[in-house]
Chain A
Amino acid sequence: MRLLRLTATTIVLLVWLGAALAVLQSFITAEPPIRFGASLVAHVTGMAAGYGAAVMLILMSRSPWLERGIGTHRLARWHGWGGLLVIMLTVVHALAAVQVWSQAASIRLPAALRDLLNIPGLTTALVGTVILTLVGLASLRVVRRHISYERWHFLHLLTYLAVAFGFAHQLAGADFAGRQWLQIAWSLLYMYAFALVLRWRVLQPLFQLWRHRLRVEEIRQESPDVVSVLMSGHHLDELRAEPGQFFRWRFLTTTTWASAYPFSLSAAPTCNRLRITVKARGAGTKRIFSIPVGTLVFAEGPYGVLTSRRRRRPRVLLIAGGVGITPMRALFEVIDLPGKDVTLVYRASCEQDLVFKDELDEIAEKSGARIVYLVGPSTETANDMSAPALNRIVGDLHDHDVYLCASPRLAARVRASLMDRGFPRHQLHEERFSF
């Protein structure tokens, strides 16, 4: 955990140091005396946005040192607010630049915009800005709710194009032009960011497809709206996947190849089999229910830090809500503690929603671990999942590592209650993903 904090802290410090240098460069190029105005705003926001875009590419490159050291959900959180910041800086930069041009040439804003678009590289930069703005709007929670995951994902992929469009404009910008060593450094920053993306987001999954030749072996109905997908392949031990981790799965059929879905392993991986479990949440996930047996699977991963390696305390509490049972089911199978002090609290709204009940009971019987099923409305006292209620279930909650995977609302409630009661943050392990 110390190493994790150090790694995350180091990366944050490096990112801010780079940002400070980028902003400093815009002050260096400004002609003295430096006055606060639209010109300075355009330069500073332009440099910060350009730098931020490259950082966002690196953070989402799926590089193992970032994924394992920082964790997917923290990276996604950084990307969430960092991406928004980059978009806002880009828009402010564009507006400030038009304003400066309008003032300098003593013309109206529309005429200034027309002038600027005639300059080489600025039309593509504008297209990039429009794409980034659309992605930002689509990612707002209120809009995101009305867009399917597939459309949102496709739109999100266009950000690579937007960043590439902006790059040419940046190199020719007033802050860089004539400073060759800076242009080389900036160019290298972008090339390395794209190299990381190419290596880990494109070549790695292609290599895994070639090496492991993962195929759907069986689709097993677990409940009316939940299926398990069993996949077989070769040399799967080389993936070094651990229970609790997830992959981004792309099933190569005519209707599903374009979407990559993040799903956790729902059973401990073996050298030739993997299993995931999927709940129908929309048209995309529903299509997975009818994937033909034999379908090739393009898998990116493994990702995530929700593994037994994170355990620090002698006792473990696994908390699962609904289909959040999938990584917990895999962990429950492998966490083996002296004294068998493992408790699984599994929350579901009705009996029918309890998937893997037979498997879980069998594991518990073999390992001596305990399962507590909380079934029914959350308003019932018996289904309380606050810290005091969990403490009553396991006794001495602070002596446990808590692993949590549930719907965003339930996870937030449990997390808040644990933190309110002073539960140590580093003993809470969770992986959050939502479509």
Chain B
Amino acid sequence: MSDTTLDYRRPIPHITRSSLAASPSLVRWSLRIVTVLIFAAATAFGVSVGMGAPETSPTSLVQQNTAPMNP
């Protein structure tokens, strides 16, 4: 079987141009900002998930209803 490339046959011109034209310092700073944003989002999401976590373990709830012993 012959192999074929997965390619954008008609590249979007402005995306193509911007990838070549952007200066190295602009690219570097953009990546730094993206990194900060990712970690800011991870912090917000992590805190939100942690705060929304159950106050009682489902295992202990079920345990109380089914058996007197607490493992």
List A residues at the B interface (Cβ < 8 Å): 31, 38-39, 42, 100-101, 103-106, 115-116, 118-121, 171-174, 176-178, 180, 183-188, 190-192, 194-195, 198-199, 203, 207, 210-211, 213, 234-235, 238, 252-257, 287, 290-292, 294-296
Check A188 against B3 for contact (C-beta < 8 Å): no
How far apart are A56's CB and chain B's nearest CB, in angstroms?
18
How far apart are B3's CB and chain A's nearest CB, in angstroms?
5
Residues 26-49 of B contacting A (Cβ, < 8 Å): 27, 31, 34-35, 38-39, 41-43, 45-47, 49
Check B6 against A257 for contact (C-beta < 8 Å): yes
5 nearest A-B pairs in the assembled complex, by CB-CB distance: A184-B50, A191-B46, A100-B71, A187-B50, A195-B42
Check B6 against A253 for contact (C-beta < 8 Å): yes
List B residues at the A interface (Cβ < 8 Å): 1-7, 15, 19-20, 22, 24, 27, 31, 34-35, 38-39, 41-43, 45-47, 49-51, 53-60, 62-63, 66-67, 69-71
A-B contact pairs, 9 of them (CB 8 A): A38-B71, A105-B63, A116-B59, A177-B53, A178-B56, A188-B47, A213-B20, A234-B20, A253-B6
Given contacts A104-B67, A213-B19, contact A296 B5 (CB under 8 A): yes
Given contacts A210-B19, A294-B5, contact A31 B50 (CB under 8 A): no
Given A100-B71, A192-B46, 11 additional A-B pairs, CB 8 A: A184-B46, A187-B46, A187-B49, A187-B53, A195-B38, A195-B39, A195-B42, A234-B20, A238-B24, A254-B5, A257-B6
Given contacts A103-B69, A177-B56, A184-B51, contact A254 B3 (CB under 8 A): yes
Check B50 against A104 for contact (C-beta < 8 Å): no
Given contacts A172-B57, A253-B6, A257-B6, contact A238 B27 (CB under 8 A): yes
A115–B58 Cα distance when bound, in Å, is 12
Check B54 against A172 for contact (C-beta < 8 Å): yes
Given contacts A120-B58, A290-B3, contact A199 B19 (CB under 8 A): no
Which of chain A's residues have a CB closer than 8 A to the CB of B62?
115, 118-119
How far apart are A101's CB and chain B's nearest CB, in angstroms?
7
